[in-house]
Amino acid sequence: MTKSQNSFVTEITPQSEDFSRWYLDVVRRAELADYSPVKGCMVIRPYGYAIWELIQQELDRRFKQTGHVNAYFPLFIPESLIMREAEHVEGFAPQVAWVTKGGTEELEERLIVRPTSEAIVGTMYAKWIKSWRDLPVLINQWSNVVRWEKVTRPFLRTTEFLWQEGHTAHETEEEAEAETRQMLAVYKSFAEEFLAMPVLDGEKSSSEKFAGAARTYSIEALMKDGRALQAGTSHNLGQNFARAFEIQFQGRDKTLQHAWTTSWGVSTRLIGGVIMTHGDDSGLILPPRIAPYQVVIVPIQRGNWQETVLPSAQRVRQELHAAGVRVFLDAREEYTPGWKFAEWEMRGAPVRLEIGPKDIEKGQVVLARRDTRDKLPTPMDGLSGRVVALLDEIQQSLLDRARAFRDEHTARAGTWSEFREAMEGRPGFVVARWCAEADCEAAIKAETQATIRNLPFEQAVDGACVRCDRPAVRVARFAKAY
Ligand SMILES: [Zn+2]
């Protein structure tokens, strides 16, 4: 069976025609995920899961480096527990999945399937924390959560997804705030260094903060269709959950005090972010640091290639593997080299390595970059060093490109008419002064569909709100969002 290059590529809808279709085509064709018989749930396929594993490994390393340890809490949460924090219940109520029966018996107390773990973690922390000497508690868990969603899209919004949730408890408000900000910084550097996805860090407005939090911080990325994606959040929970769940400790001064807690999380949504930050009409473009295969070797099947080309390809594979490169040798006979080129382009492999009889005569291979499509004839001598350097170069160039795109699609608006024009004329972020009033935020959303993504930390604001005449108290970043 030989498939032509053309029939293959046309299976992806161009971005300019329908971005949302493009996204779904890439997810399915690149074999990242598939729909499942369970409504609203996806199956993460091995290629997609390999990306998640790479994300997980690096984040886990960074969490441990900042003093955290992993644990695991139950999937089920008794109804009475979640009811203890009123704002929290209200925030999650519409998305909760209930368990009412065990086997054939009606349960005495209904259980909910974990939408997030504050309630169960808080209950356990109340048992474990007695004295200031027990603090801080710095725990993370890798788990799945269930949020009953009406409209779903693979990786971006599904009823069940994978994530990590950090839950920490501290002696003082300052420590809790420092932890919240530290984890936001961990997310930001990870997103930029590993996913090559530039993000804006800042504080959420009151209406967008986590249910029950004192303050929520987020990182926000800009997708290629000009919509923003919330890529991670870190919450300072103040003493709200400690009061609700009675997490109390004897302080250094012997008084009984409530702990200060935080929580923070990122999810498989990051994979959706990577697809929409870097991909193009030919499919996925993966940053090398999270690519399951950083280099795919395609031997050119000519003449007796199995005796001539294949052994060289195998040697190259060994050499790259020994240099720590994730490499795949695509020696399948039933597909032509042209078909394989298109397939690995579509699946986003950062570098394709072509090797044929003529290359062997010249003592070289051809490296093809997925990001720029440049073809670089490269000597076999010193190949692994060159490939490692090239992967770093690609990683950096993807970040630069995404940052340039984000900056080009960020406008400043001083007046309401400028704001409307910027929001309707071109996708992206619009930065403007804001009065910090919820009714004004709601009016902006109703008129333009734009929400406040977050509020930058650096605050020098002078003048009136962009929408109403009240004095501005914050600068805000607006965008239409996923
Ligand atoms: Zn206003």
Residue pointed to by tokens 């690609």:
394
C-alpha angle 165/53/12, rounded to 5°?
110
Report CA dihedral (116, 122, 125, 131) to the nearest 10 degrees.
140
Q: Tell me, in angstroms, the distance from the centre of ligand 1 to residue 434's CA.
A: 5
pLDDT of residue 10: 56
Q: Tell me, in angstroms, the distance from the centre of ligand 1 to residue 419's CA.
A: 13
Q: Tell me, in angstroms, the distance from the centre of ligand 1 to residue 433's CA.
A: 8
pLDDT of residue 11: 83
**Per-residue pLDDT reduced to its tens digit, 269-303:** 999 999 999 999 999 999 999 999 999 999 999 88
CB–CB of 420/397 below 8 Å?
Answer: no
- Which residues does residue 249 pair with via DSSP β-bridges, in sequence order? 257
Decide if pLDDT at 238 tops 80: yes
**Per-residue pLDDT reduced to its tens digit, 162-182:** 999 999 999 999 999 999 999
Q: Tell me, in angstroms, the distance from the centre of ligand 1 to residue 457's CA.
A: 19
Residues, beta carbon < 5 Å, ion ligand 1: 435, 440, 465, 467-468
Q: Tell me, in angstroms, the distance from the centre of ligand 1 to residue 439's CA.
A: 8
Torsion region of 56: left, alpha or beta (phi above 0 gives left; psi -120 to 50 gives alpha)? alpha
pLDDT of residue 6: 46
pLDDT of residue 4: 44
Q: Tell me, in angstroms, the distance from the centre of ligand 1 to residue 87's CA.
A: 25
Q: Tell me, in angstroms, the distance from the centre of ligand 1 to residue 438's CA.
A: 8
CB–CB of 76/99 below 8 Å?
Answer: yes
Decide if pLDDT at 425 tops 80: no
What crossing angle do the helices spanning 383-408 and 305-322 adopt, rounded to 10°? 70
CB–CB of 44/268 below 8 Å?
Answer: yes
Q: What is the mean pLDDT of residues 443-472?
A: 92
**Per-residue pLDDT reduced to its tens digit, 15-55:** 999 999 999 999 999 999 999 999 999 999 999 999 999 99
Residue pointed to by tokens 């030989």:
2
Q: Tell me, in angstroms, the distance from the centre of ligand 1 to residue 412's CA.
A: 16
Question: Which residues contact residue 44 at a Cβ distance below 8 angstroms, ignoring those fewer than 6 apart?
Answer: 32, 33, 52, 162, 268
pLDDT of residue 87: 80
Q: What is the mean pLDDT of residues 307-327?
A: 97
Q: Which amino acid is at 238?
A: G
CB–CB of 472/434 below 8 Å?
Answer: yes
Q: Tell me, in angstroms, the distance from the centre of ligand 1 to residue 408's CA.
A: 26
Question: Which residues contact residue 85 at a Cβ distance below 8 angstroms, ignoring those fewer than 6 apart?
Answer: 118, 119, 212, 240, 241, 244, 245
C-alpha angle 186/190/192, rounded to 5°?
120
Q: Tell me, in angstroms, the distance from the centre of ligand 1 to residue 198's CA.
A: 28
Helix boundaries (H) for 409-454: 416-425, 438-448
Angstrom distance (rounded) from CA 425 to CA 45: 38
- Identify the sign of the CA torsion 100, 101, 105, 108: negative
Decide if pLDDT at 335 tops 90: yes
What crossing angle do the helices spanning 269-278 and 46-65 adopt, rounded to 10°? 110
**Per-residue pLDDT reduced to its tens digit, 364-375:** 999 999 999 999
Residue 129 φ/ψ, nearest 5 degrees: -100, 115
**Per-residue pLDDT reduced to its tens digit, 248-260:** 999 999 999 999 9
Query: Distance between alpha carbon 49 and the CA centroid of its chain, in Å?
Result: 13
Decide if pLDDT at 96 tops 80: yes
Q: Tell me, in angstroms, the distance from the centre of ligand 1 to residue 195's CA.
A: 35
Query: Distance between alpha carbon 63 and the CA centroid of its chain, in Å?
Result: 16
CA atoms within 13 A on the CB side of 389: 6
Q: Tell me, in angstroms, the distance from the centre of ligand 1 to residue 375's CA.
A: 53
Decide if pLDDT at 426 tops 80: no
Q: Tell me, in angstroms, the distance from the centre of ligand 1 to residue 217's CA.
A: 21
pLDDT of residue 481: 95
Mean pLDDT of the chain: 94
User: What residue ranges in 283-362 does DSSP mark as E strands?
Assistant: 295-299, 327-329, 351-355
Q: Tell me, in angstroms, the distance from the centre of ligand 1 to residue 464's CA.
A: 8
How buried is 322 (Cβ within 10 angstroms: 0-12 exposed, 13-18 middle, 19+ buried)? exposed
Q: Tell me, in angstroms, the distance from the centre of ligand 1 to residue 415's CA.
A: 11
Q: Tell me, in angstroms, the distance from the centre of ligand 1 to residue 235's CA.
A: 25
Q: Tell me, in angstroms, the distance from the centre of ligand 1 to residue 423's CA.
A: 17
Q: What is the mean pLDDT of residues 315-339?
A: 97
Q: Tell me, in angstroms, the distance from the centre of ligand 1 to residue 88's CA.
A: 27
Q: Tell me, in angstroms, the distance from the centre of ligand 1 to residue 462's CA.
A: 13
Bridge-based pairing state of the strands 429-434 and 410-413: parallel
pTM: 0.95
Decide if pLDDT at 147 tops 70: yes
Q: Tell me, in angstroms, the distance from the centre of ligand 1 to residue 463's CA.
A: 11
How buried is 55 (Cβ within 10 angstroms: 0-12 exposed, 13-18 middle, 19+ buried)? buried
**Per-residue pLDDT reduced to its tens digit, 395-411:** 999 999 999 999 999 99
Angstrom distance (rounded) from CA 110 to CA 99: 6
Q: Which amino acid is at 458?
A: E
What crossing angle do the helices spanning 438-448 and 416-425 adopt, rounded to 10°? 40
Q: What is the mean pLDDT of residues 440-458?
A: 94
Q: Tell me, in angstroms, the distance from the centre of ligand 1 to residue 226's CA.
A: 24
Torsion region of 308: left, alpha or beta (phi above 0 gives left; psi -120 to 50 gives alpha)? alpha
pLDDT of residue 34: 95
Q: What is the mean pLDDT of residues 131-141?
A: 98
Q: Tell me, in angstroms, the distance from the centre of ligand 1 to residue 443's CA.
A: 9
Write 96-100 long-range contacts (CB < 8 A, 24+): 96/147, 96/148, 97/146, 97/148, 97/159
Decide if pLDDT at 157 tops 70: yes
CB–CB of 180/264 below 8 Å?
Answer: yes
Helix boundaries (H) for 66-117: 79-82, 86-92
Q: Tell me, in angstroms, the distance from the centre of ligand 1 to residue 353's CA.
A: 56
Least trusted range by pLDDT, from 1-10, 100-109, 188-197: 1-10
